[in-house]
Amino acid sequence: MIPNLPEPNETAHELTRLLDELAAYSDGTNPEEGVTRLLYSPSWLEAQRYLSSTMQAAGLAPRFDAAGNLYGRLAGRDPDAPVVLTGSHVDTVRNAGKYDGAYGIVAGLVAVSYLKKKYGDPIRPIEVVSFAEEEGSRFPIAYWGSGNAAGLYDWRQDGTELKDEDGISLREAMLASGFGGREQEDARRSDLAAFVELHIEQGMVLERMEKRIGIVETIVGQRRYAISLEGAANHAGTTPMTMRQDALAGAAEVIFRLEALAAQWGEPLVATVGKIEASPNTPNVIAGGVAFTVDVRHSDEWKLNAFCDLALSEIERIALRRRLRHRITPWLATKPVPMSHALTRSTERICQELVLPYRKMVSGAGHDAQLFPTLCPAAMIFVPSKAGISHSPSEYTEPGLLADGARVLTAMLYELAYEEKST
Amino acid sequence: MIPNLPEPNETAHELTRLLDELAAYSDGTNPEEGVTRLLYSPSWLEAQRYLSSTMQAAGLAPRFDAAGNLYGRLAGRDPDAPVVLTGSHVDTVRNAGKYDGAYGIVAGLVAVSYLKKKYGDPIRPIEVVSFAEEEGSRFPIAYWGSGNAAGLYDWRQDGTELKDEDGISLREAMLASGFGGREQEDARRSDLAAFVELHIEQGMVLERMEKRIGIVETIVGQRRYAISLEGAANHAGTTPMTMRQDALAGAAEVIFRLEALAAQWGEPLVATVGKIEASPNTPNVIAGGVAFTVDVRHSDEWKLNAFCDLALSEIERIALRRRLRHRITPWLATKPVPMSHALTRSTERICQELVLPYRKMVSGAGHDAQLFPTLCPAAMIFVPSKAGISHSPSEYTEPGLLADGARVLTAMLYELAYEEKST
pLDDT in tens, A314-370: 999 999 999 999 999 998 999 999 999 999 999 999 999 999 999 999 999 999 999
Q: Write out the E strands in B52-201.
A: 61-64, 70-74, 83-89, 126-131, 192-200
Angstrom distance (rounded) from CA A337 to CA B106? 71
Question: Has residue B329 been placed in a domain?
Answer: yes
pLDDT in tens, A82-99: 999 999 999 999 999 999
Mean pLDDT, residues A20-43: 93
Question: Has residue A282 been placed in a domain?
Answer: yes
| B329 and B340 in a common domain | no
- CA angle, A280 then A282 then A283, to 5°: 150
The closest alpha carbon to B252, from B224, B231, B222, belongs to B231
Residue A9's pLDDT band (cuts 50, 70, 90): very high
Residue B283's pLDDT band (cuts 50, 70, 90): very high
| A329 and A356 in a common domain | no
Question: Has residue B422 been placed in a domain?
Answer: no
Question: Has residue A422 been placed in a domain?
Answer: no
Mean of pLDDT over chain A:
96
Domain boundary among A310, A334, A358: A334
Domain boundary among A314, A334, A354: A334
Query: pLDDT at position A142, please?
Result: 93
Share of chain B above pLDDT 70, in %: 99
Query: pLDDT at position A30, please?
Result: 82
| B301 and B341 in a common domain | no
Check CB contact under 8 Å for B256 and A249.
Answer: yes
CA-to-CA separations, B420 to A386, B78, B112, B338, B345, in angstroms, rounded: 84, 11, 18, 26, 18
| B264 and B168 in a common domain | no
Mean of pLDDT over chain B:
96
Of A268, A283, A293, the CB nearest to B295: A283
Question: Has residue B129 been placed in a domain?
Answer: yes
Taking 70 as the threshold, does the pLDDT of residue A102 lie above it?
Answer: yes
| A199 and A150 in a common domain | yes
| A112 and A66 in a common domain | yes
The boundaries of the domain holding residue B307 are 221-334
Question: Has residue B348 been placed in a domain?
Answer: yes
Taking 90 as the threshold, does the pLDDT of residue A10 lie above it?
Answer: yes
What residues in B contact A242, CB-CB < 8 Å?
263, 267
Question: Has residue B52 been placed in a domain?
Answer: yes
| A202 and A227 in a common domain | no
Check CB contact under 8 Å for B239 and A389.
Answer: no
What residues in B contact A253, CB-CB < 8 Å?
252, 256
Are A236 and A285 a contacting pair, CB within 8 Å? yes
CATH at residue A321: 3.30.70.360
| B149 and B53 in a common domain | yes
| B111 and B15 in a common domain | yes
Angstrom distance (rounded) from CA A337 to CA A348? 19
Residue B275's pLDDT band (cuts 50, 70, 90): very high
Angstrom distance (rounded) from CA A390 to CA B284? 12
Q: Which of A207, A208, A235 to mutate to test the interface with B (most CBs of B within 10 A)?
A: A235
Check CB contact under 8 Å for A274 and B252.
Answer: no
pLDDT in tens, A305-328: 999 999 999 999 999 999 999 999
Taking 70 as the threshold, does the pLDDT of residue A422 lie above it?
Answer: no
What residues in A contact B262, CB-CB < 8 Å?
241
The closest alpha carbon to B86, from B170, B249, B195, B214, belongs to B195
Chain A with chain B: Cβ pairs closer than 8 A: 216
| B392 and B278 in a common domain | no
On the 0-12 / 13-18 / 19+ scale of CB atoms within 10 A, B355 is exposed
pLDDT in tens, B295-317: 999 999 999 999 999 999 999 99
| B289 and B186 in a common domain | no
Question: Has residue A358 been placed in a domain?
Answer: yes
Domain boundary among B308, B334, B360: B334
Which ipTM score applies to this complex? 0.91
Check CB contact under 8 Å for B202 and A238.
Answer: yes
CATH at residue B170: 3.40.630.10
DSSP A350-380: HHHHTT--EEEEEESS--GGGG-TTTS-EEE
| B177 and B149 in a common domain | yes
Are A276 and A287 a contacting pair, CB within 8 Å? no
What residues in A contact B99, CB-CB < 8 Å?
none
Domain count, chain A: 2
